[in-house]
A and B are shown apart, each in its own frame.
Chain A
Amino acid sequence: MKNRETEILKLLAAARRQKDFFKIPDGWQNETMRRIRLSKAIHSETGDLAVFNRFVWRFAATACVLLLILSLYTFRADFQAEYEMAQLFMKDPLGFGMVQTFGIL
């Protein structure tokens, strides 16, 4: 059984080698060089900015996870800026007024 399977694989491999004979018409080399000349210039990536760019992407996944956790936390904590301000004013109107006078808020 195993031998038969190996034989079939050998036959398929030989059939595949036969596929090597189709021709690609000449002229593709010139067309490739034409496309390359039209494409954007390439630059060596040895500069500090390039190294920085490579590192930034390494932290992209971590940053996304952190952002998701913070968003979830904010959502669950029911944080609303206006509500917090109103609560502060109700609790300590004098202090809140002074803070506003000095332009902190």
Chain B
Amino acid sequence: MQGFPLHYPYFIKKMSHTQSAVSSDDPAIIEKVIAGDVNAFELLLHRYESLVLHIVRRHLPPDDAEEKVQDIFIRAYESLPQFKKKSSFKNWLAAIAVRSCYDYWREKYKKREVLFSTLSEAQQERIERLLSETAGQNYEEAAQKKEAGELLDWALAHLSAEERMVLELVHLEGLSGKEAAGMLGWSVANVKVRSFRARNKLKKLLTVHFHGNV
């Protein structure tokens, strides 16, 4: 896997300077692990568990999060020999986490395990009320309501795995096309095309269901 000179913005903001200083000895720890000191990997696991948990919590449902976090660290451990030491381990690990989440959704869609839930009339009414109330208002406050979560889950379930990841990374997380491309291992053009399609699809979905408010 290639190294990524990119940032996972929301995590970088949270990172303290102390953590940045500590991460400078990552290459030495990686050398130790590759040389056969498996226990040294525990240092990396504790150092970056909050990063991986943060990504997994945002992309996956709670039921499967724990297993996926473990899988991500195991995948990182097994891929360590391919890690280019010139790049940052943190960004490399973040890319592994994002790609694992993408693989998770691809698998789910392939097995048709994603429920294309239809909104009940009552739900639809409550969401419509929420949409009309939030016009130009405080989103954080509105988002705490159950309806906002229902709307998000319903909308994401109607997109493909690719569209879902791109919409989440670009439109909901605010990553640039280049950053999202680095995370997913796609070309920037591919990300732009899929991002455009995902947004259009979402717009159509919302227009059909909530034409009064979109």
Contacts and interface: CB of A to CB of B under 8 A. Distances in A.
A42 B53 contact: no
Contact of B143 (A7, A18, A33, A43): A18
B41 A36 contact: yes
Nearest to A45: B81
Contact of A39 (B39, B74, B202): B74
Interface in B130-165: 130-131, 134-136, 139-140, 142-144, 148-149, 151-152, 155
Contacts, number: 115
Contact of A44 (B34, B46, B140, B149): B34
Interface residues of A, number: 34
Contact of A36 (B77, B171, B213): B77
Contact of B58 (A4, A20, A35, A37): A20
By DSSP majority rule, is chain A's interface helix, strand, loop, or mixed? helix
Interface string A23-65: 0110011011101110101111100000000000000000000
A22 B66 contact: no
A25 B66 contact: yes
A15 interface: yes
Interface of A: 1, 4-5, 7-20, 22, 24-25, 28-29, 31-33, 35-37, 39, 41-45
